[in-house]
Amino acid sequence: MLKNRNSLLATLFEKELMKDLRRLNGLRNALVHRYNKIEEKSIINEKEHFTKVIKKFVQDVERLIVEKYG
């Protein structure tokens, strides 16, 4: 099931975006579950990048919705 889902996602989103979303998911898990020591400076330094990743994801989802439903 997971392999099929990943294959489908790979056809919908760019490889680099998928990689960045996985990193964001890892960050989310670290923050929520308080894994290891979180480097605040590192998060602050990557804030702009993460913001761009989220905006790109939203744009891609909006594009897919328009393509499917007009």
Q: Which residue has the higher pLDDT, 61 or 32?
A: 61
Task: Write out the residue range of the structural domain in which residue 12 sits.
Answer: 2-69
Any catalytic annotation for residue 49? no
pLDDT of residue 59: 97
- Give tens-digit pLDDT for 5-57: 778 888 889 999 999 999 898 888 877 877 667 777 778 888 999 999 999 99
- For 20, the enclosing helix (H) or strand (E) is helix 15-33
* pLDDT exceeds 90 at position 66: yes
Candidates 5, 22, 23, 33; catalytic one: 33
Candidates 22, 28, 49, 63; catalytic one: 28
Number of domains in the chain: 1
Any catalytic annotation for residue 28? yes
pLDDT of residue 35: 63
Quickly state the pLDDT bin for 70 (edges 50, 70, 90).
Answer: confident
Residue 35 structure tokens: 């894994």
